[in-house]
Amino acid sequence: MRHTISILVENEFGVLTRIAGLFSGRGFNIESLSVAPTLDPTLSRMTIVTSGDDRIIEQVNKQLNKLIDTIKVIDFTGEDFIEREMALIKVTAEETTRAEILRICDIFRGKIVDVTPKCYTVEVTGSPVKVNAILDLLRPMGIKELVRSGPVVLGRGPKGWKGN
Amino acid sequence: MKLTGSKILLESLLLEGVETIFGYPGGTVINIYDDLMDSSIKHILTRHEQAAVHAADGYARATGKVGVALATSGPGATNTITGIATAYMDSIPMVVITGQVPTGLIGNDAFQEADLIGITRPITKHNYLVKDVKDLARIIKQAFYIARTGRPGPVVIDLPKDVQMAITEFEYPEKVELRGYKPTFGGNVRMIEKAVKMMLAAKKPVLYVGGGATLTDAHAELMALAETLQMPVTTTLMGMASFPKRHPLSLGMLGMHGTYYANMAVTNSDVLIALGARFDDRVTGKISTFAPHAKIIHVDVDPTSIKKNVRVDLPIVGDLRDVLKKMNKKLAEHKDEVVQENEAIKPWLKEIAAWRKDHPMSYKHSKTEIKPQFVIEKLRELSNDDAIVTTEVGQHQMWTAQFFDFTQPRTFLSSGGLGTMGYGLPAALGAQAAFPERQVIDVSGDGSFQMNSQELATLVQYRLPVKIVILNNNFLGMVRQWQQLFFDKRYSQTCMELPIDFTKLAEAYGATGLRATKPEEVEAVIKKAFETPGPVIMEFKVSREENVMPMVPAGAGLNEMVLAS
Ligand SMILES: Cc1ncc(C[n+]2csc(CCOP(=O)(O)OP(=O)(O)O)c2C)c(N)n1
């Protein structure tokens, strides 16, 4: 099962390798990982999407907690949370398809952020499901290049960490 | 007071109570070595950095204190890896300090540069690259705290040369502040109460004791629990000396080369109480047939150990000694139930006694050949009760575990998790450095001995009178045994073709060499060795194709022991 986990870590030298090394060394999956400093610049917040059965996910959580640089781990799976991911999509824009691209973009509240005679670059933000959906619609026009940020998450309401 | 990084390091070590360190000099630690000349810290120069780390490990295991090793950057640092990994697998508190090229050169493939932080990340509890001398005192304080608290383990401090030379105000922090590290000490009281109820209701309980008992010095509390409830005790290799083997409740070791009766007891138990043990595959055999009828209580300070390999019915996270204390206290409130339990458990103890009678730990004696097991039995008979025994890895290690009756805690030092050949001699060196007056014995095979035999020089130089037993079978015996049993006796690369004269080797280093080739010589050689001052090698030419038995074949269940080959 897919799990989305937030990790609050010391913003220290090598902390990203510690986390990534833990996953590779113990054979855990990483589907995506995103990381950036928090409001408190001595801390970083990571979002990791992983998958595995209950026993593996329990180990993932415990092993993450065991790292000295880890301050807190929240597994949002089964919780009410907001999950957002950004994608930049370079899509072939011919005379015949431009209008359609614009329409799709509009439906998904995306933006065209770069235009050349042959292609558009679309910026879209949403849940991974939504990003997948726009990709499905744009694919027939010819996607030339794609980059996704991997999701970041925040708990709804009080669930989460204060101040960071 | 303004000090250089190098002086700050040595001052901080003193403040941590460090008396002895083990190391090897080189370019990037030359400043530290210079300052060592004026320090009261005793430094022991091993002949290899791996040995320095094993010696620090042996020192730590024998004393319970944090062991300290020092090495230069690059090749010195990479030579420490096996030692660090060995300590990591067995949760040994240790701080390893390595030199590093100056910060400005890091990443430039500088002379003797190796990314030690990258290399040791998966084999340390934590590691630090010190980039600013202002952080040094805090990092040392944290390193020692992390190494010895919670589940102990090795911590590496990589110290660039320019940081050693830089000057700053020295102030050793009083407290450690780590937002992300709060080891659990006391176990959850409600869980402990539940565990006590389960134990009181058990008809067929077994205590399964691991290295956690040794690491927390919980032998007295363990004894109290076992005796109060009359529960049989089996230990892992790491838990070995924390419960005396001669005690009537002792079942000896369990697992692959454990006793038949320990494995049968575990298989038939209704409540299995795992204390500071981690259900290693060498212990459990096939997981699906491991203690199939038992409710499992698991006490461990490391939450990741719990439910990693087996299902657990009652987890208790906490320091083992603390948890045992609380259990014993609770039991004192249930005097009547304890009496009932003692009565109810009698048939179980009888059942176990029958298994023990049917298949005791034994071997075929011989009048013509020296049996390795016989040497171990004689060694026990002729050594002091508080003798510290280290081993290398192989058959001799298992025979020591099977036939040496350990009676006191912290007297058996062996590489359990990593299984490192070459561990025993330097570990004995470290233990002897900690206890100059006690008997320290390294039980070795002829293969393992040659992995760190250069440490004979260190023993002689520092007058460390370690007694070395080499059970010489001219084979890499344990691998040969597997080849015999599972590969049709195809002895690929396990025969040590070149016979070595180990007595001459001892003499070359200025130690004493003794040899026995017949059973009747064994006792005299051991006696002579203990009477001889200084390090002694005792070489025993043992029966070459003796096997370690009984045995649970790899992949089989504990109830499928092969009793003789
Ligand atoms: C460093 C290292 N290399 C290889 C092994 C694999 N191994 C395990 S036991 C063994 C044989 C040990 O031979 P010896 O020391 O002569 O002891 P014996 O088994 O004959 O008593 C080997 C090669 C190991 N455990 N450690």
Residue B278 distance to chain A (closest CA, Å): 14
Residue B27 distance to chain A (closest CA, Å): 25
Biggest CA–CA distance in chain B, Å, is 72
**Chain A interface includes B138 (CB < 8 A):** no
Instruction: State how far the Cα of A157 lies from the Cα of A155, in Å rounded to an integer.
Output: 6
Mutating to test ligand 1, I would choose from B476, B479, B482, B542 the residue with most ligand atoms within 8 A of its C-beta, which is B476
Instruction: State how far the Cα of A38 lies from the Cα of A110, in Å rounded to an integer.
Output: 26
The confidence band for A35, taking pLDDT boundaries of 50, 70 and 90, is very high
Instruction: State how far the Cα of B249 lies from the Cα of B360, in Å rounded to an integer.
Output: 14
Q: Which of B316, B476, B324 shows the shortest CA–CA distance to B394?
A: B476
**Chain A interface includes B555 (CB < 8 A):** no
Ligand 1 atom closest to the Cα of residue B477 is: 20
pLDDT for position B119: 97
Distance B477 CA to ligand 1 centre (A): 7
Closest residue on chain A to B306 (Cα): A59
Closest residue on chain B to A25 (Cα): B122
Degrees to nearest 5, angle at CA B250 with B249 and B251: 115
Instruction: State how far the Cα of B299 lies from the Cα of B313, in Å rounded to an integer.
Output: 11
Please identify which of the residues B112, B408, B454, B461 carries the catalytic annotation.
B112
Instruction: State how far the Cα of B364 lies from the Cα of B360, in Å rounded to an integer.
Output: 12
B112 classed as catalytic: yes
Cis preceding-peptide flag for B550 (omega within 30 of 0): yes
Closest residue on chain B to A26 (Cα): B122
Contact (CB<8Å) B122/A21: yes
ipTM over 0.90: no
The stretches in chain B having pLDDT less than 50 are none
Please identify which of the residues B199, B478, B549, B551 carries the catalytic annotation.
B478
pLDDT digits (tens, 9 = 90+) for B110-142: 999 999 999 999 999 999 999 999 999 999 999
Contact (CB<8Å) A63/B178: no
Interface of B with A in 249-288 (CB under 8 A): none
Distance A153 CA to ligand 1 centre (A): 50
Nearest to B303 among A21, A62, A68 (CB): A62
Atom 20 in ligand 1: residue holding the nearest Cα = B477
B531 classed as catalytic: no
Looking at every residue in chain B, the average pLDDT score rounds to 97
pLDDT for position A69: 96
B478 classed as catalytic: yes
Distance B397 CA to ligand 1 centre (A): 10
Distance B75 CA to ligand 1 centre (A): 24
Q: Which of A96, A88, A50, A44 shows the shortest CA–CA distance to A70?
A: A44
Q: Using an 8 Å Cβ cutoff, are B99 and B72 in contact?
A: yes
Instruction: State how far the Cα of B132 lies from the Cα of B139, in Å rounded to an integer.
Output: 10
The answer, yes or no, to whether residue A163 has pLDDT greater than 60, is no
Q: For strands B440-445 and B412-413, give the pairing.
A: unpaired
What is the rounded average pLDDT of the residues A86-100? 94
pLDDT digits (tens, 9 = 90+) for A139-160: 999 999 999 999 999 998 876 6
Instruction: State how far the Cα of B558 lies from the Cα of B213, in Å rounded to an integer.
Output: 23
**Chain A interface includes B178 (CB < 8 A):** yes
pLDDT for position B554: 87
Q: Which of A21, A4, A2 shows the shortest CA–CA distance to A69?
A: A21
B111 classed as catalytic: yes
Degrees to nearest 5, angle at CA B362 with B360 and B368: 160
At residue B546, φ and ψ (nearest 5 deg) are -70, 145
Give the dihedral sign, CA A61/A62/A63/A66: positive
The answer, yes or no, to whether residue A37 has pLDDT greater than 80, is yes
Residues at CB less than 6 angstroms from ligand 1: B 392-396, 419-422, 445-448, 471, 473, 475-479
pLDDT for position A164: 55
Q: Using an 8 Å Cβ cutoff, are B13 and B68 in contact?
A: yes
The answer, yes or no, to whether residue A47 has pLDDT greater than 90, is yes
